[in-house]
Amino acid sequence: MKPHPYFKKPKIGRPRASGAGPWTVPDLCAAYQWPTSAPGGSTIAIVELGGGWTSADMAAYFTSIGQPPPSIIDVSVDGTKNTPGGEADGEVALDIQVAAAAYYAATNRAATVRVYWAQDIAAGVRAATKDGCDVCSISWGADEAQWGADAAKDMEAAAQEALAAGMIVFAASGDNDSSDGGPTAANVDLPAGCPSIVGCGGTTKTRSSEAVWNDQPGSANGDGSGGGYSTIFAMPTRQSANGAPSGPGRMVPDVAANADPNTGYQIYYGGGPQVVGGTSAVAPLYAGLFASLGQKLGSASFLDKLWQSATCFADVTAGDNGQYHAQVGPDPCTGLGAPIGGKIDGAFASSAAAPAAAPGEGAPMSPTILTLAEAIAAAQSRIPSTFLTGSMARRLVAQGLTQGWPKGTS
């Protein structure tokens, strides 16, 4: 089994829908209503099985979008190293640039990215877990049948270990529609098909609409969002209890975002600007967002909470990936749907414990005890969300508590 990268270039001559065209990452984040003052502080891990990046390309890209470059640290897991000059360079550039730019858009801070070079995805995830990373993005994969049960279960074990250590793993669902390039019309891609990984599907997002990405509607084996049902892993209760259509196993993907190369991402590699798409872009986009929300958000219950948070995603109800069609609610084309960044921020951002109020002049003698969660709930119930995002509430309320706010203060 040899996983391959999931990035695609636009097809020459393919007509564009009205309002279509490539996105810069900051513009796409704005369209997805990203938070802008998230706490950040997390480390992003990216697993790469080949290719490489150059400092010149990174500097040119981040200058082009008006952001400082991230701190990029290469980690060799098994002797594999950053080796620019090959076809997979587009994958590496896409992963780093999208994850770091998405993180900066949400925090106004440069990201810290650790790139794990390996020949085995599970080994890369385990190394990132050991190093204490907070999120992990994987844009390589292969048809479930090519993995086999033993390798698939080892990949799932690595993802479970990551969640237990607080690290969330995101993986691309594949770029060959429901067939995933396999012998039948419905094959799930791994590692996205592992139950403990967030599978990331693809859409075609214009400035006015969003639908399932499929370059050849009705075809199960073209360029489009991978998705379907696992034949190795059973459907988790969190999916069946929250509206996922019944199927033979775990439904893929969980979430989705823009992936069509025709509405793709403006990046930079090989010494020049490029436009690239694919579900490869979706995993790092979500990794950058969740990294912005705080450290160690992963847990055994994280995926249950994700599936209980359908209101944090815009349902995608148009299009198909061949075997499966979009519908109202979750489906095996785009999962829960596309991100609504501000709502995800409100539901998932970490609440750091507020420091104790220092005694001093003007402090109340006997303040009523008020938890940070109570104060945030009170603030958000009184101030419209259009004015106060979840991360802003946490920051402002924490500052207020240090000044000795008593319960009931406006």
Give the separation between CA 378 and CA 408, rounded to whole angstroms. Answer: 9
- The lowest-confidence range among 12-26, 171-185, 308-322 is 12-26
Helix 121-130 × helix 149-164 angle, to 10°: 20
**Model confidence pLDDT, tens digit, residues 102-127:** 999 999 999 999 999 999 999 999 99
What residue has token string 């799930």?
188
Average pLDDT, the chain: 89
Same domain for 221 and 167, yes or no, is yes
Same domain for 336 and 358, yes or no, is no
Which domain covers residue 43, as residue numbers?
4-348
Out of 348, 368, 391, pick the residue that ends a domain: 348
Is the confidence at residue 58, as pLDDT, over 80?
A: yes
Cβ neighbours around 14 below 10 Å, total: 11
Same domain for 376 and 247, yes or no, is no
**Model confidence pLDDT, tens digit, residues 174-192:** 999 999 988 889 999 999 9
Same domain for 15 and 128, yes or no, is yes
**Model confidence pLDDT, tens digit, residues 239-282:** 999 999 999 999 999 999 999 999 999 999 999 999 999 999 99
Nearest to 48 by CA among 73, 97, 81: 81
Q: Structure tokens of 55?
A: 């400092």
Same domain for 269 and 394, yes or no, is no
What residue has token string 């969002």?
225
Out of 328, 348, 368, pick the residue that ends a domain: 348
Domain count, the chain: 2
Q: Structure tokens of 161?
A: 């270990």
Same domain for 280 and 404, yes or no, is no
pTM, two decimals, is 0.86
* Chain center to CA of 113: 14
DSSP string, 163-174: HHTT-EEEEE--
What is the pLDDT averaged over residues 142-163?
96
**Is the C-alpha dihedral spanning 330, 166, 45, 32 positive or negative?**
positive
User: What is the pLDDT at residue 62?
Assistant: 98
Per DSSP, 312 falls in state G
Same domain for 74 and 190, yes or no, is yes
Give the separation between CA 287 and CA 267, rounded to whole angstroms. Answer: 17
Out of 329, 348, 367, pick the residue that ends a domain: 348
User: What does DSSP say about strands 4-5 and 140-143: parallel, antiparallel, or unpaired?
Assistant: antiparallel
Within 8 A by CB and 6+ apart from 214, the residues are 177, 222, 223, 224, 225, 319, 320, 321, 322
**CATH number for position 110:** 3.40.50.200
Same domain for 290 and 368, yes or no, is no
Helix 55-64 × helix 89-107 angle, to 10°: 40
Same domain for 341 and 355, yes or no, is no
User: Given pLDDT bands bounded at 50, 70 and 90, which one contains residue 397?
Assistant: low
Same domain for 13 and 126, yes or no, is yes
Catalytic residues: 91, 95, 280
User: What is the pLDDT at residue 363?
Assistant: 34
